[in-house]
Amino acid sequence: MEVVNLTKNIRYATSIIQSAEKWCTERDVPEHVTRLAHDASQFVSVYANHPVSQSTPHIYASMLPFWPQSQPLSAAYMPRASGLVQPTGTAIDRRRLALIATWKVSTRSVKSMSLSRDGRRLVAPTADSIEVYDTTTGESVVSLAEERTKNVDYVAISPDGSKVAFSRYEGTPYVWDTANGGTVTQLLPDGVSGGISLAFSPDGSRIACGLDNGKVYICALGQDVSAHGPLTGNTTYVLSVVFSSDGFHLASGSSDNTVRVWDVKTSQPVGTPFEGHTDLVLSVCSCPTDSRIALGSHDKTIRVWDPQTGQTVLGPLTGHSSYVSCVAFSHNGAFIASGSADNTIRVYDTRTGHTVLGPLEGHTDCIRSVIFSPDSTRLFSCSEDGTVRVWNVQDIDTSNPVPTASPLSSPILCIRYSRSGTRLVSGSVDGSIHVWDVATGQLVLGPLRGHEYPVLSVDYSADDRHPRTDGGAWQFGELCAILTDSTAVVSGSYDGTVRIWDVSTGQQVTRLFKGDSAIWSVGISPDGHRVVCGLGDGNIVVLDRHSGATLVRPMDAYGNWVGLVEFSPDGKRLVSGSDDKSVVIWDAETGKQLVVCGESGGAHSDSVYSVSFSPNGLYVASGSNDHTVRVWDSENGKLIHGPLKAHTDIVPSIQFSPGGSHLVSCSWTAPFDSGTFRP
C-alpha cells in the first residue's frame, strides 16, 4: 500500500484489493480471512478517496489508529505497530464506518446517476458534460462534452455500460453509444420533448422515457431508434420510470400521486393504478427478486406495492423529515435504501419495515439518487450538493432473528406471517394461539384459548384483522386455512371432517367432507374455489369449496400420513410433505406427480412436517424431524439452500415472508427462527 501510494498508483490498489475480496468470497476461504479482506478493501477505499492519501505516512499516523477497533484490520495490525497514537473512549470503541468515499463531480446539482450491472461503471452529469466513472477509484474513464450535454439532469446507463441515455429537464432525450465511436442519437421524434425520467430495460434493448405531460415512450434500440407510444394514463409529470426485473413490464410514478404498470410488448396498462400515496410519487424501483415495487413520495413515506395482487405489502415506512426523493432495492431484495430532502439516507429491512442503517449523514443538500452495488455491500448516492458518495452497507445485520418475549409454557407447533409481514400468529400444543410483533418479538394478542387439541395450523386473513387457526377455538378442528375473501375458515380435524366456519361469528357454515381417515392438513387455492386435504392414510384430495365435490380423485400419495399440503401461488401445483421423508410437487388439476425434491441428492433424513411455496412459485421450503430446513427448486427438485441447521428439534411449520426474502420456521424447543433467503 505504501509503494502504490508513493508511486501515485493508489487508485489501482482499490481494484486489486477488491479482486482479492471477491476471490475469497468465491472460494472456500476461512471466514476470518474473508472478513479481513473485506475490511482491508474498505480501508484502502477510504484512504484512496480521502485527502489524507496525499501523505503516505498517514497510513500509520492517522488511518490505522482511528480505524474502528472492532474491525479485523485493527485487530491484525495495531498490535504489530509501535509508537502510534492510541485513541480511547466509547466513541472509538463503538465507531462504525459508513462513508467510504466522496467524489466532487459537479459545480451544480447532481440530480441523477446510474450504475452498470457489474457495478464497475457509474454515470453522472456535470455542469457541461456527462462522465462515466470507475467505481473503484472515482476517476472518470469516459466523457462526453458538447452543447447537448450542458445542464443535463437525467442519466441512465445500459446494463453492459456501453450506452448512456440523458436529457435536460423538460428537454430532448438522447442516447450516447460509448462503445461505437461515441455517436449520440435522438430518442424521440422531432417535436416530442419534455423528458424528465429515463430507464433502460434489463437486457439493454429498450429505453423508457417519462415526459412532463404525463406520457411515456418506450424506445427500441437497434441500427435506428424506434419510439413506441405514447403510453397514456398519467395526468401530469412522469417523475420516475422503471422496468420490472424480467423486462416484461414498466412502472411509472407521477405527480398525480399514482403509479401505473404497463405491458411492454402491448403497451397496454396492467391492473389498476396504485393510489396509496397522498402526494407526488417521486421515485419507483422494482425488486430484482420478485414483482414488488418500492415507491418514494413527497408525503415523506415509502410504500412497497405488489402490482400482481394490487396490495401494499409493506409500509408506509417513515423516518424522513422531508420528502423521499429516491428509493432503491438491494439486489437480494432484503433491503430498501431511501434518500430524502432532509439530506439523509436510510436503509430499511423489507421483512420488518424497520430502519436497519441510518440516518446516514454527510450530504449537505437533497439526495437525488441511491443505488446498491450488485453485491449489496456498497451504496452509492448523489445529491444537489454536487457530490457522489459511497457508503459501506455490508455490516448490516442480515440475520436479524425475530426476538422472543417470554417463553411459552407449551411448545409452538405452527407459525404464519400476516399478509403485511408485520405480525406472526402461532399455535401451540396446549391449544393456545398467540400473535407477535415481527420486529420486536413482543406478544400483541393472546393467549387465545378455545381449542381442545393442539393447534397444528394457523394463518391470517388477507386484511390482517382475523387470525385463522386450526385446533379448537370456536370448536374448530385441528387444521385450518383462511379463504381469500377473508370471510370464512376451512378446517380439517382428526375426526375426518372438513368444515367451513364464519370468521366473524365463529359458527359452522357447512360440513364439506367426511372421510374415514384423520385430516392432517388443509390448504386453499389462491382463487378460493378449491380445498386440498392431506389425510392420515397417505391420500391427498382436492375438493370444490362450494359443493364439496371431489375435483381430483384421491391421490394415493404416500404409505403414511401427509404432513402438509399447499397450493402454489398460481394454483396450478401442490406441494406435500410426508412421513416417508419426501417433498413432492403435484399437478393440482390432474393429480399427476411432477417432481420429487431431493431425488438427485440432499433429501431429508426423517419425516417432513412442513412445506411452503415462495411467493413467486420458484422455490419450495421444507422443515423436517431431522431438525433442518431445506429450500428446493420447484421446477426440478434440486436442493439450492441447506440443510439449514438452526433448530434442535422437529420443524413443524415454515413459511416464506410475503416479499419472499426471508423464511420463518418454528421448532418444538425454540419459538421462532428467521433468516434471509437469497435465491
pLDDT digit string, tens, across residues 131-155: 999 988 788 999 999 999 999 999 9
Per-residue model confidence (pLDDT) at position 156: 96
Give tens-digit pLDDT for 277-331.
888 999 999 999 888 999 999 999 999 988 888 888 888 898 898 999 999 999 9
Calculate what percentage of the chain has a pLDDT beyond 70. 84
Question: Quick one: pLDDT at residue 456?
Answer: 61
Place of cell 406471517: 417
Q: Which of 537, 529, 580, 530 is nearest to 555 (CA)?
A: 537
User: Per-residue pLDDT for 396 more than 70?
Assistant: no
Average pLDDT (165-193) is 88
CA 392 to chain CA centroid, nearest Å: 19
376: pLDDT strictly greater than 80: yes
What would the mean pLDDT of 157-178 be, rounded to a whole number?
92
Which band of pLDDT confidence, cut at 50, 70 and 90, is reported for residue 401?
very low
Instruction: Judge residue 440's burial from the number of C-beta atoms within 10 Å of its C-beta, 0-12 exposed, 13-18 middle, 19 or more buried.
Output: middle
Mean pLDDT of 46-75: 77
Lowest mean pLDDT among 11-25, 227-241, 291-305: 11-25
pLDDT at 524 > cutoff 60: yes
Q: Is the pLDDT of residue 387 over 90?
A: yes
Would you say residue 347 has pLDDT above 90?
Answer: yes
**Span 31-46, mean pLDDT?**
80
Averaged pLDDT, 13-26: 79
How much is the pTM?
A: 0.56
Cell of 459: 394463518
User: Is the pLDDT assigned to residue 365 strictly greater than 60?
Assistant: yes
- Residues 269 and 9: their CA atoms lie apart, in Å, by 52
Across residues 643-658, what is the average pLDDT? 80
What is the C-alpha separation between 278 and 257, in angstroms, rounded?
6
Cell of 523: 390448504
Backbone torsion region of residue 64, taken as left when φ is above 0, otherwise alpha when ψ lies between -120 and 50, otherwise beta: alpha
Task: Name the residue with higher pLDDT: 408 or 101.
Answer: 101
3-state DSSP of 296-339: EECCCCEEEEECCCCEEEEEEECCCCCCEEEEEECCCCCEEEEE
Give 239-282 pLDDT, tens digit per residue: 999 999 889 999 999 989 889 999 998 989 888 888 888 889 99
Do residues 535 and 511 touch, judged by C-beta distance below 8 A? no
Both ends of the chain: CA-CA distance in Å? 37
Give the containing element (helix H, strand E) for 632.
strand 629-633
- Name the burial class of residue 3, with classes exposed (0-12), middle (13-18) and buried (19+) by CB atoms within 10 angstroms of its CB: exposed
Cell numbers at 236, concatenated: 401530469
State yes or no: pLDDT of 165 exceeds 80.
yes
Q: Report the mean per-residue pLDDT for the chain.
A: 81
Hey, what domains does the chain have and what are their CATH numbers? 2-94 (no CATH), 108-273 (2.130.10.10), 282-398 (2.130.10.10), 412-676 (2.130.10.10)
Q: Quote the pLDDT of residue 558.
A: 59
Tell me the C-alpha to C-alpha distance, in Å, between residue 435 and each of 328, 426, 462, 473. Answer: 31, 6, 15, 15
pLDDT at residue number 382: 96
pLDDT digits (tens, 9 = 90+) for 440-460: 667 777 676 665 666 666 655
Q: Are 491 and 479 in contact (CB under 8 A)?
A: yes
**Of the given ranges (73-87, 218-232, 344-358, 569-583), which has the lowest mean pLDDT?**
73-87
Q: Which three cell numbers stand for residue 1?
A: 500500500
Express each pLDDT in 559-611 by its tens digit.
567 778 899 999 999 999 888 888 999 999 998 999 999 888 889 999 898 89
What's the pLDDT band for 215 if we cut at 50, 70, 90? Answer: very high
Nearest to 438 by CA among 400, 397, 482: 400
**pLDDT tier, 669 (very low <50, low <70, confident <90, very high otherwise):** low
pLDDT of 362 > 60? The answer is yes
Amino acid at 586: W
* Residue 173 pLDDT grade (very low, low, confident, very high; cuts 50, 70, 90): very high
Cα 65 to the center of its chain, rounded Å: 37
Alpha-carbon distance 294 to 302, whole Å? Answer: 7
Q: Between residues 182 and 114, which one has the greater pLDDT? A: 114
Bridge partners (DSSP) listed for residue 102: 389
Report which of residues 405 and 494 the model is more confident about.
494
CB atoms within 10 A of CB 458: 28
pLDDT attached to residue 555 = 65
